[in-house]
Amino acid sequence: MKTKHLISTSLLVSSAIALFTSCNGSSVDTVKAIESNYDNQNKTITLTGEFDAPSFTFSSGKSKTMAMNFVVKSHAFSSEKFTAFSVILPVGTEKNNVLFEIPADQKNYTLKNFYVFDDKGEKINLDSHTTFKMKGTVHYSEMEKPENEREKDNFSYKITDVRFVKD
Q: H-type helices in 100-147, by residue range? A: none
- The mean pLDDT value for 120-124 works out to 97
Beta bridge partners of 70: 51, 84
Question: For residue 148, what pLDDT is reported?
Answer: 94
Nearest to 34 by CA among 118, 104, 136, 119: 136
> What are the boundaries of each domain within the chain?
24-166
Question: For residue 74, what pLDDT is reported?
Answer: 87
First-to-last C-alpha distance (Å) of the chain: 40
**Could you report the per-residue pLDDT of 20-78, keeping only the tens digit for each?**
334 467 999 999 999 999 999 999 999 999 999 887 755 556 789 999 999 999 877 77
CA distance 64 to 90: 6
Pick from 100-104, 140-144, 152-156: least confident: 100-104
pLDDT at 158 over 70: yes
Query: Would you tell me how many other CB atoms lie within 10 Å of the CB of residue 6?
Result: 10
Question: For residue 3, what pLDDT is reported?
Answer: 55
Nearest to 158 by CA among 134, 133, 141, 144: 141
Quickly list DSSP for 40-91. TTT-EEEEEEEEE--S----SS--SEEEEEEEEESSTT---EEEEEEEEEEB
**Could you report the per-residue pLDDT of 103-119, keeping only the tens digit for each?**
889 888 889 999 999 99
Q: What is the CATH number of domain 24-166?
A: 2.40.50
- The mean pLDDT value for 98-107 works out to 89
Residues 45, 138 contacting (CB under 8 angstroms):
yes
The length of the chain in residues reads: 167
Pick from 65-79, 90-104, 127-141: least confident: 65-79
Mean pLDDT over each residue of the chain, to the nearest integer: 85
